[in-house]
Homo-oligomer: A and B are copies of this chain.
């Protein structure tokens, strides 16, 4: 049980997933890799798959089985949610990235 940093910057995983899927269809493993790279360490299965499960249940993403991969895409509701969330995100953090 490694000690967590005081400022650990957790958060917004679902939002990031939608963001990546808006660009491109991706499977869970690829999402873990891409988002993990931005956070400087690949996300574990115990992180990415429960997140995808929840997004699926809320119908924000859909998927198509392709071999052993599930290729995820943004569902219509996911697109809406993404747009909404992005507005909020920008309002909250734009000045933080500029300064």
Spell out A's residues near B (CB within 8 Å): 5-7, 9-12, 14-16, 18-19, 38-40, 54-55, 58, 60, 81-82, 84-86, 88-94, 96-97
Let me know if A92 and B60 touch, CB within 8 A.
no
What is the copy number of this chain in the assembly?
2
Let me know if A11 and B14 touch, CB within 8 A.
no
Q: A85 contacts which chain B residues (CB < 8 A)? A: 7, 9
A31 and B84 CA atoms in complex are apart in Å by: 25
Let me know if B97 and A93 touch, CB within 8 A.
yes
Closest residue of chain B to A11, judged by CB? B11
A85 and B5 CA atoms in complex are apart in Å by: 10
Name the one of B9, B55, B94 contacting A88, with C-beta atoms under 8 angstroms. B9
Most buried by B among A38, A81, A85: A38
